[in-house]
């Protein structure tokens, strides 16, 4: 049952169309800017214009531009770097988010915080995770995102935290942009290379273009935490095996990684019923991958 189906056009009209995007040179932020700058006034400050690690800088810039919505994408998302540099990454991932939440609350700005499914890494069970579960993240990055969510709730109760899944795109917008699941898969396919994926790793993988499209609806969500991405019924190896089969490609070069997470399988799959109650839907991981690869490569 739909709680209240949200329509992007109605929401954009209601909010007036002044949006601030942090992390605008990153994978998600750059795509948000490109999509919304044609529809409204977008502010995409660089580090020199607004340093999220300093409250005065955040307050001065946001007080000047007065956005109705702030989409907070800026973060250190390299999980290994966060693990090795917890103090430095916490300043950006946690303290920077707190400053954004405090200023948004003061200005009456709707805060959309980009959190992560890595919060579920370390949780037990093999079912898709729901937002109301007790979690105990195993990695520094997940712990920092969880703490950032808590500070959003504390300092900006109407804020929306989106627990995003691993995202992909078939194109690169920026020269320095790293590869992603889809570009790596397509390259291996073209070069007829061996592919190896873990059998003890369960996660959703999401088309970033759908994240950007659904973001407009997220502007109208009540404050809270929402899983935001594609569900997945399979482990990583099974996902790729079925993808190759559905596309008509041989599975001979696909190998199982039996070592990764063997002692403690990683399950960070999400259940998206909470967002779906507001009409925000994502196709399942395999369904969308088949469509995306089929559009860029001929089916055999």
Q: Is 199 left (phi over 0), alpha (psi -120 to 50) or beta?
A: alpha
Tell me the percentage of the chain whose pLDDT exceeds 90.
Answer: 86
What number of CA atoms fall less than 13 Å from residue 110's CA on the CB side?
22
Query: 120-140 b/e with 16+ CB inside 10 Å = b?
Result: bbbbeeeebbebeeebebbbb
pLDDT number for residue 287: 97
Strand partners, 6: none
**In the structure, what pLDDT confidence band is assigned to residue 130 with cuts at 50, 70 and 90?**
very high
> What pLDDT is recorded for position 300?
44
Q: Does domain 8-169+205-231+271-282 have CATH number 2.40.110.10?
A: no
Q: Which two tokens stand for residue 158?
A: 């109407």
Helical (H) or strand (E) element with 160: strand 160-164
- Residues whose CB falls within 8 Å of the CB of residue 84, separated by 6 or more in sequence, listed in order: none
For 218-273, give the DSSP string.
Answer: HTTSPSEEEEES---SSBHHHHHHHHHHHHT---TTEEEE-STT-SS-EE--B--H
CB count within 10 Å of CB 184 equals 13
Q: What is the pLDDT of residues 274-291, one digit of tens each?
A: 999 999 999 999 999 999
pLDDT tens-place string over residues 253-264: 999 999 999 989
Mean pLDDT of 230-238: 98
Instruction: Confirm if 182 and 169 have CB atoms less than 8 A apart.
Output: yes
């Amino acid at each position: 049952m739909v709680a209240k189906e949200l329509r992007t056009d109605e929401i954009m009209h209601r909010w007036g169309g002044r949006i601030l995007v942090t992390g605008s040179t990153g994978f998600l932020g750059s795509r948000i800017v490109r999509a919304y700058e044609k529809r409204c006034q977008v502010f995409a400050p660089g580090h020199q214009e607004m340093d999220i690690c300093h409250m005065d800088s955040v307050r001065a810039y946001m007080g000047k531009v007065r956005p109705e919505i702030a989409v907070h994408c800026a973060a250190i998302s390299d999980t290994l770097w966060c693990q090795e540099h917890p103090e430095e990454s916490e300043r950006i991932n946690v303290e920077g988010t707190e400053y954004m939440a405090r200023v948004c609350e003061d200005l009456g700005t709707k805060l959309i915080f980009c959190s992560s499914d890595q919060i579920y890494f370390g949780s037990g069970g093999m079912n898709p995770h729901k937002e109301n579960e007790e979690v105990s993240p195993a990695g520094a990055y997940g712990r920092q995102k969880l703490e950032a969510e808590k500070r959003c709730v504390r300092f900006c109760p109407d804020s929306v935290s989106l627990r995003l899944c691993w995202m992909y795109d078939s194109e690169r917008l920026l020269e320095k942009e790293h590869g992603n699941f889809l570009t790596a898969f397509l390259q291996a396919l073209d070069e007829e290379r061996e592919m190896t994926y873990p059998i003890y790793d369960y996660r959703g993988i999401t088309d970033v273009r759908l994240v950007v499209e659904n973001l407009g609806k997220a502007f109208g969500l009540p404050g809270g935490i929402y899983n935001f991405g594609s569900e997945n019924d399979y482990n990583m190896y099974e996902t790729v095996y079925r993808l190759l089969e559905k596309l008509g490609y041989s599975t001979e070069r696909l190998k199982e990684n039996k070592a990764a997470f063997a002692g403690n399988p990683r399950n960070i799959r999400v259940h998206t019923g909470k967002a779906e109650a507001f009409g925000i839907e994502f196709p399942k991981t395999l369904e969308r991958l088949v469509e995306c690869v089929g559009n860029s490569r001929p089916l055999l």
